[in-house]
Each structure stands twice: as C-alpha cells, then as structure tokens.
Amino acid sequence: MARPKAPFLYGREPLVGSLVPSLTGLAFHERARAKREFGSGVPVVLLTGEHGTGRSALLDTLARGYRGRLPLAHVRAVVPGSVAAGLTEEVPEGSVPPQSAASPAEILERLVGALTPTYGIFRTLLPALVAVSGWHVGQTDERDEVCRRHARMLIASGLARGAEREVARDWATQVETSLTRAAARDGDPDDPDGTQPVTAALLRQLAARMPLDPARTWFRKRHTTPDGTIAEEDPLWLLSRRFHRGGDYLHAAEQALTAAFLEELAHAHGVVRRLNREPWPLILLDEAHTPAGNRFLELLLEQRALGERKYDDRTVVVATRLGDLPREDAPHAVRRELVDLLPPGGVRRPGHAATLWKRTGHEPSEGLLVLPLTPLTRDDILSMLDRASSRLLHPHLASALHALTGGHPSASTVLADAAVETAKQNRTVVPRDLLDLRVEGGRAVTEVLLRDLLPDRRQRDRLVKLCLARDSKAAEALAQDLGLVGPEQLPATAAAQYLVERKWQELPTADGPLVTSGLLRTLLVHEARRTLPPGDEPHSWRSVHAFLHLHHVQRAETEEADALRHNLAAGNPQQVVAMLADEFDAEEAEQSVEHWLLCLQRCASAPVPPADDTWRDQRVEIADGEHAARYARLDPSGRSINRLLHALWYLSEPYADAALDPDADRMCRAVGEELGFLARRHPTWYAALGQAARDWPTAARKRQELPVPASTNSGEGG
C-alpha cells in the first residue's frame, strides 16, 4: 500500500518561509542560504494550538524540508508507558518520523542518536546518560527497555554494530554477567532501590568501548563538596545516585545533563563550522505539553538564561504544545501572531525577524517565542479548492466550508480534499453536501475527522451518542439508558473529562452542553445521524430522542422547550407545531410570550433526523407554503407557525448563510413575515412578537442567536 502524501500547509508561510530560515540560515523553499538574523542567542519557538491545527504537520514539513541539509532531530514527547502515535501510524511519503521519548533523559538520548552522525561521539553526555538509566535489579522488562535505548545510542555512536534487537540483547547479557560477578563489591548502603550496582556494571561495559575520563572530568568539576573542594567519588556514580533519588536531586542531575549536552554540542560545532557558516542543528520537539516535553523545555530555558556561559548556543528548537501556554507559566515569554512574522506588505525583509524577539534579562521564560497557530482564512480554503474544476464547485463553497469549520486546519483540509476528490469524479459539490462527502478510499469525512480529533475509540463512540443530549444531566441519564459501561461510575462525566484532557474545553456545568466546541459537536451529531440504527430500533436516532424528550418532560415543567426540541429531532414536527399552536391560541395563556418564543428558538436548533420512510428534509418547501394540503386541519395561525418553525429550523444549518444561499435569504424574510402575521393575530403578544419580527431576521442573517424579548407576564405584550 502506498504511503499517504504529506499535506500541503496553508496559512503557515510566515513560519516556514520567513522565521525558521532566519534562525537556521537556510531557505526553506530552495536549496540556498538565508541571512541568519539572530545573534549569539536564539529563541525557542513554541507553536501552540488545539487538536487539528497542524502542529505536528508543521514539524513534519520542516523535517522534510531540512532533511539532509543540516543536523536534524525530530522527537515526540510521550507519556510514560504510552506508544507514540507517530511510530504506529503510516507516515507521509518522504517524512522524517518522530522518535518517542518519555522523559527529559530519553529526549537527550534521542538527540544524541540523531546528532552523532554529524558531530561524532558525545564523550561527555553519552556516559552520563548510560549512568542515569540503570534499571532495578531483577526487573527484566525495565532492563530490556533500557538496553534497547542504549543499543540505539551505541549503534549511532559506532560503538556497536548490528540490528538494534541483537545489540540490545548482547548488551543486556554483558551487563548482567558483569553485575553477577561484582554484585558484592558494588553494593552501596546509600542505594535503597538497587540501581547503583547496575550503574557500575553499565559503566564497566561502556569503558570497554570508549574512554570515560572526559565525562568524569566534566561532571567532577560540576560537583563540589561543602568546603569547596572537588569530590573524589566517581562523579558518574554521584550523578546516577542523584538522578534516582528524585526531588531536588533529580532536578540537579537533569540540569547537569542538559548543560553537558549544550556545551558539548557547542564545542563540537567548532570554529571551522562557524567560519564556514555551517548551520546549527534543528531540533523539532512535538507534544511539549506532556510532562517530558515540558520539563525538557524548562531545563533548556534554565541553561540558556544563565549569564556565565562561555560558549555560543545557536541550536534552533521548534516545539509544539497542545492548547495555549498560560501567562503565569511563562510570564516573560514573547508572544507574537503569525501575521507578525512578515513586515507590512507581506514581503520578507532583512532584519525583520530579529525584531520579533530579544533577550533582555535572565528569566528562563524570556527565551520563549510563543506563536499560536491561528485558524485558516477563507482565502486559504479557496486555495485548497483551486485543485478542482471551479464549474463543479458551488461559487461560495469556500465561505461555507470556512463557516462550518471556523478555519480549523485539519477539518478544513479533510473537507476540502473530499470536495476536490468528489469533483474529480465529475460530481458537483454544494455547501449542504460537505458533511456527507467521502475521502479518497470511500470513508466518510466525519469518521476520518473524529478518529483524528478524538483518538480514544471508547470515548469517541460514547460521545457520538451522548452529544445528542441537551446538557450533562441529560447525557448521564442517556448513558444509563443506553447501558454504556466502563470502569468509570459516570460515563458521561468520563467522556467530558476526556475532552478536558484533550484540551477541547473546560469541564462543563451540569446544565451546560456536554460538548462545548461547536465544530466537534457538529461532527459528532452528524456521525450519530450517519451511524445510529434506523427506524425505531433500540438505540436508534429516533429512540434516543424519544428518551430525551421524555426525560425533559419528567424532569421539570420548565423544560418544555428542550422536550419539544427532541420531539422535533425525532422527526415529529406535526406534534411540535400542534403544541405551539395550542399555546398560541389559548384564551388564557399559561405561559408567557417569552416562554413561547424560547420554545420556538430552542426547537429551531434541533438536529435534523436521518432521512427514512417517515421523514424527508422538506423544510424549505414547507416554509415556502408547499404541501399545504397536509396541514388543512390547522387554522391560519397554526399554518403560519408551521411555516415559521420550518424556516427557523433550516436557518440553524451551518450552510444556511443568507449571504450565500438564496434559500436562506428567502427564509430570513419569511421569518419576519410570519412573526409579523402572528403579532397581528394575537391579542396580547403583539408587541413582543412584533419585536421578534424585526430582530430575528437580522440575527439569522448575522448567524447570531435569536434574541427572546422580555415580557412582564403572560397577559401583556410588552
């Protein structure tokens, strides 16, 4: 099977075409030099954004563009025990797959492996990394994992030959043999967890392959006794002991490792490389919000903030973070927008990049240049669609797609690709088709997007059903009715917590929607419409909304609006119209006009049921007055309410933009006309209905929530 093609990045040109070349000294789009615009210090570039904003794709693009042109390391920080997604998924053709690392030390191991071919053996750092990564005696799984990591470094450094698996196995055997022979001699009373004998055995085996004196000399100078003299104990043993003790000791050990890396890399880059203007390394760190990634950046920034460094450090680091970087976490960071990366006029000018960031003190966070990945523009999406014949695409498809996704890069790209693929089959694409499109290979766009945005299948499957509930309380009741099971006591709460962990939202309130992201909710609802069983089968679309209708009826009389909404979503518009008409015609209204308009407003947001034998989408036709014979039993007010409801229901669709869609424009006018008609027919509600007749068409055109006029009581019109 052919690998997928790497995606073309839209809206990110200021980063890849201007900022990064000014840091690396190499143009991105052509094999040419660029002016390096920063002095002896360079910022750590931190790209922030939610899921699907293209953070990982950007790093992949940079890796492909600079591969073979400069020393390159591509690392993905992961949670301990997890599997890096980039190592299990197919990577695009020509990509440089990221290497996973679950701790700052493992990140340094990955950097050693990636940069050794250019700079040679890291004679200070390599022994130190081996020393701190010993396993607990008797823990074979831990041993095997550590030996695999060691094998990668040994092979990269030319200290071992062969396949990684065989080298790791031989290394483990040699260390275990050495450990057994010297167990009594290397016992340490200050080693409660049993790692020190392993450290000694590891260093003995490494000493047979390379000299350890350079590492011992460097770390011995770093450790002094209280009286200021240099400690006599083996500094690599001391480093290992501190590393495994945790707390402040671990921090000090990690600081030492990071300092060793930066200093050794700076010396390896050397005078000759500087004179020849050879580029410094480019380190790409994905998922820097994880504990490992965040900690590594903290250590790096701490070292760069020190004023007494005697070496240049121009290594370029571009990292990504899921979600925003809170200001309290980096109070001195420089924050820019992508648009700031280019001077006015959009043309790169020498010296502009250097104005974006400058260190003015010694606070660690001053070393950060934070760039949020902003949504794509309509023009970006139009560029995506230019790959297809314009005669087959609706003239306002780019605007409709942008309105649907809000410029979300992943969603916009998948939908645009699907539209282009459909046009290649000589089929037209209109805005209302967008969520029904299929990608190359035949999969539904909603399925593809949700798998990417919500990787946990169990939580994704839950959310597809629970998103239909109006609020979190209703979602929990629905979860119980559907028999959703799992280790959690409250499945809906667990699903909401998953969205919080994935940085989609804050934890919802009990009376707020379970899914607060408009895009995510739209995708989930459409996937529910596509995948739930048909008809009245258990757990079907209709039965789910029937349950939710009953739930709101039983929960409180004040929840009539939500009950009607689910009745409409179940495909029962006649019942909803009858309820609204009865209340409108009541001689003594039990509810206020405000409540009646609230019911109408809430019903208009009902998701459209899937088409079947009992329901077809004829909202526009009914709002236009067609099929009048079906509603002959209704009086003029009832027929007007029926037309009004269907017009509002259609206008709730993301593609129903009056500026782009003639049907939507006509529906907006119809809303004002029908409300004006009803205002003239009601003895007491005329003022509030008249106000709605003026306000609601305007709100619908602006894609805003329909305002509900206030009324003092049920018997006054305002």
* Residue 576 CB neighbours (<10 A): 25
Name residues whose C-beta falls within 8 Å of residue 492's C-beta, 6 or more positions apart in sequence: 462, 466, 469, 472, 475, 476, 478, 479, 514
Instruction: Note the pLDDT of residue 589.
Output: 60
Cα–Cα dist 395/417, whole Å? 17
Nearest to 657 by CA among 378, 296, 325: 378
Instruction: Note the pLDDT of residue 718.
Output: 36
Amino acid at 566: H
Instruction: Note the pLDDT of residue 220.
Output: 93
Length, in residues, of the chain = 718
Residue pLDDT, tens place only, 555-609: 877 789 999 999 999 999 999 999 999 999 886 666 789 999 999 999 999 999 9
Instruction: Note the pLDDT of residue 227.
Output: 60
List residues bridging with 72 in a β-sheet: 282
Whole-number Cα distances in Å, 56 to 7, 102, 281, 453, 685: 11, 17, 19, 13, 56
Low-confidence ranges of the chain (pLDDT < 70): 1-8, 82-95, 183-195, 224-232, 345-348, 488-489, 587-590, 710-718
Instruction: Note the pLDDT of residue 194.
Output: 55
Spell out the alpha helix ranges (H) of 443-487. 445-453, 457-466, 472-482
